[in-house]
Amino acid sequence: MEFQLQRKSKTRAFRNFLHRYPTVIPAVTLAIAVGLFALIVGERFFSPFNLTLVMQQVTIIGLLGIAQTLVILTAGIDLSVGVIMILSSVVMGRVSVTYGLPVELALFLGLATGFLCGLFNGLLVALIRLPPFIVTLGTWSVYGAIIYLVSRSETIRAQQIEDTAPFLQWTGNMIRLEGGAVITYGTILLLVVAAAVWYLLNRSSYGRHIYATGDEPDAARLAGIKTARTLIFVYVLCGVLCALAGWVLIGRIGAVSPLGNQTANLDAITAVVIGGTSLFGGRGSIIGTLMGALIVGVFRNGLALAGLDVLWQEFSVGLLIIAAVTIDQWVRKMSA
């Protein structure tokens, strides 16, 4: 059967190329950013120590970004990732330090907290079919309020944790390599999680179902995919990954604080978008998100070392977001 092959202009071929290899743009952006700052800032930026420092700084954003990527692939969004992270870390700290229970139990309960938060989001989205934006806007407030209830707005200090439950700070342990590079256990955990989720998305049928559910839910249903179950699975996994990020957060700041990391939520969405994942669902990758997180980290770190105002850091990250979304729109137009 000889269907007419579509005429391929150069732009169309390029668009096809971007569609097939969506991580090319973040990869190129990252390479350019690193090269640029290496030129401008020099040794202080382009040293093994500083480059690994950037990795430490983006570890939490990377984990939240991976969690967020899963949800965004289903054409949803989870505004509650930041508060789930903090709530889980508060539970871990409270259980082990305040109530003196075994730290393994504390870690488990923290992860269970993330599981339950994700399950609640997922049930509302998949079964009651509320828009994810609204659901997680609501649970953002709900979980946020629970943080204050559980923590009583108190900080658990690093020294207290060190004395009673040092395992909570395990993710902050460091491996010092030659040349000054420093890798934390948290960063390694991030890479392990990224590999696992990459496998899930690219090599397992569950991953195919996640993409299909986000891309064209009706088609997915007709193909026999249980889309509601897929959605619940995604939100639950997202919640658990946020809880894991909560553990890494304790390793990073040493303490358990209800104030936590207020910008983490938006930074994670930023990493996902800059990493080339489409907010319309069905397209995107974990590797892209990791690179998105690194791009944000490199810009923040590089511009700060170059002595630029914080304002310019925000400015440039904002431009990156707009550019990323524009490219996504352009690539998506292909199907129309």
Partner 1 sequence: MTAIFKGAVCAAAMAASLLSAGIAAAQDRPIVGFITKTEGNPFFVAMRLGAEQMAEELDLDLRSFAARSSDDNESQVQAIENLIAAGAIGIAIVPNDEAAIVPAVERAREAGLLVISLNTALVPAEAADATFTTDNRAGGILIGEWARAHLGDAADTARIAMLDAAENQGLVDVERDQGFMEGFGIDVKDPNRWGDEEDERICGHAMTLGSEAGGRTAMETLLQQCPDITVVYTVNEPAAAGAYQALRAVGKDDGSVTIVSFDGGCPGVADVADGVIGATTQQYPLLMASMALEAIKEFAETGERPEPTPGLDFFNTGTTLVTDAPVDGVESIDTTAAMEICWG
Partner 2 sequence: MKPQAILEARSLEKYYGSVVAMDGADFDLYRGEILAVIGDNGAGKSTLIKALSGAVIPDSGQILLDGKPVHFRSPLDARNAGIETVYQTLALSPALSIADNMFLGRELHSGGTFGRMLGNMNMRQMRNQARDMLNELGLTTIQDINQPVETLSGGQRQGIAVARAAAFASQVIILDEPTAALGVKESLLVLKLIRDVRDRGISIVLISHNMPHVFEIADRIHIHRMGRRGAVVDPKKITMSDAVAIMTGALTVDDTAEKQA
Q: What residues form DSSP beta bridges with 184?
A: 174
Site for partner 2 in 12-41 (CB under 8 A): 16, 19-20
- Asked whether position 329 contacts partner 1 by CB under 8 A, the answer is no
Q: Are residues 87 and 290 in contact, defined by beta-carbon separation less than 8 angstroms?
A: no
How far apart, in Å, are the Cα atoms of 221 and each of 69, 123, 124, 213?
21, 18, 19, 8
- Burial code (b: 16+ CB inside 10 Å, e: under 16) for 177-190 equals eeeebbbbbbbebb
- Asked whether position 289 contacts partner 1 by CB under 8 A, the answer is no
CB of 69 or CB of 171, closer to partner 2: 69
Site for partner 2 in 155-214 (CB under 8 A): 200, 203-209, 211-212
Shortest distance in whole angstroms from residue 108 CB to partner 2: 23
Backbone conformation region of residue 324, classed left if phi is above 0, alpha if psi is from -120 to 50, else beta: alpha
- Asked whether position 1 contacts partner 2 by CB under 8 A, the answer is yes
In the set 175, 223, 259, 319, which binds partner 2 (CB under 8 A)?
Answer: 223
- Asked whether position 316 contacts partner 1 by CB under 8 A, the answer is no
CB of 53 or CB of 112, closer to partner 1: 53
- Give the residue from 319, 320, 312 showing the smallest Cα distance to 294: 320
Q: Which span sits near partner 1 by CB under 8 A: 105-113, 203-211, 298-306, 319-327?
A: 298-306
Q: What residues form DSSP beta bridges with 175?
A: 183
- Asked whether position 311 contacts partner 2 by CB under 8 A, the answer is no
In the set 283, 291, 301, 328, which binds partner 2 (CB under 8 A)?
Answer: 283
Which does residue 207 touch among partner 1, partner 2, none (CB within 5 to 8 A, set by kind)?
partner 2
- Give the Cα separation of 284 and 198 in Å (integer): 11
- Give the residue from 115, 94, 116 showing the smallest Cα distance to 105: 94
Burial (CB < 10 A; 0-12, 13-18, 19+), residue 6, is exposed
Q: Are residues 273 and 22 in contact, defined by beta-carbon separation less than 8 angstroms?
A: no
Binding positions for partner 2, rule: CB under 8 A: 1-6, 16, 19-20, 200, 203-209, 211-212, 215-216, 218-220, 222-225, 282-283, 334-335
Binding positions for partner 1, rule: CB under 8 A: 44, 50, 53, 56-57, 60, 123, 127-128, 141, 144-145, 147-148, 152-160, 172, 174, 182, 249, 252-255, 257-264, 301, 304-305, 307, 309-311
